[in-house]
Amino acid sequence: MNLNESDKQLLEKVEELSGENVFSCYQCGKCSAGCPFTEEMDLLPNQVIRKVQMGDRSVLEAETPWICASCLSCEVDCPKGNDVPAIMEAIREISLRKNVDAIDLDRLEKGKLPEIALVSNLRKKTG
């Protein structure tokens, strides 16, 4: 597979941030079969990994990594032992480290949300 420089950059960045070898994935789809949130996603988890393998930068615009709740259902199911949630986190981090928040702090529900929800959400969705 021939990847141009920009494609390679994405691939290398995801591997660096996640500590995972994305080519270890052979696209069996078991992560997507067990994921409890696929009906809300625009890409299946295995499709996200495929796009990263191909260096396809459109994956940075996908909703899926922001819907993934790091529940680790795929992580315990993956026959290759890949940490799919770490790959999702790497994709989120590429955006967040440009100092971009994925949530609008001014629009948070007032007075209701417990700190455990706020802290975990802000850790995953703000830069």
Partner 1 sequence: MREIPYYPGCSLKDTAKGFESSAMAVSRELGIELKEIPRWNCCGTVYSLTDDNLMKQLGPLRNLVRSRDEGYESLYTLCSMCDNTLKRANRLVQEDEEKLNKINNFMDQENDYSGEVEVKHYLELLRDELGWEKVMENVKQPLEGINVAPYYGCMLTRPKEIGLDDPHNPSILGELVKSLGGTPVNFPYETECCGSYNTVDKKEIILGKTQTITAGASKAGADLIITSCPLCHFNLDSRQAELLDIAPNHNPVPVIYFTQMMAVAFAKPEVNEFEEHAIDPRPGLDLEKKVVS
Interface residue with partner 1, options 16, 27, 29, 100 (CB under 8 A) = 16
Closest-CA residue to 84 (of 40, 47, 54): 47
Interface residue with partner 1, options 23, 27, 113, 127 (CB under 8 A) = 113
> Do residues 13 and 93 touch, judged by C-beta distance below 8 A?
no
Q: Tell whether residue 51 is a contact of partner 1 (CB under 8 A).
A: no
Q: How far apart are CA 77 and CA 75, in angstroms?
A: 5
> Do residues 90 and 59 touch, judged by C-beta distance below 8 A?
no
Q: How far apart are CA 27 and CA 5, in angstroms?
A: 24
Give the residue with the Cβ less far from partner 1, 2 or 39.
39
Q: Tell whether residue 83 is a contact of partner 1 (CB under 8 A).
A: yes
**Closest distance of CB 19 from partner 1, Å:** 3
Q: Tell whether residue 100 is a contact of partner 1 (CB under 8 A).
A: no
Where does 3-123 show beta strands of DSSP type E?
none
Interface residue with partner 1, options 30, 50, 57, 125 (CB under 8 A) = 125
- Return the ∠ at Cα 41 (arms to 100 and 20), rounded to 5°: 65
> Interface residues with partner 1 (CB under 8 A)?
16-19, 36-37, 40, 67, 69-73, 75-76, 83, 85-86, 88-90, 93, 102-103, 108-109, 112-121, 123-125
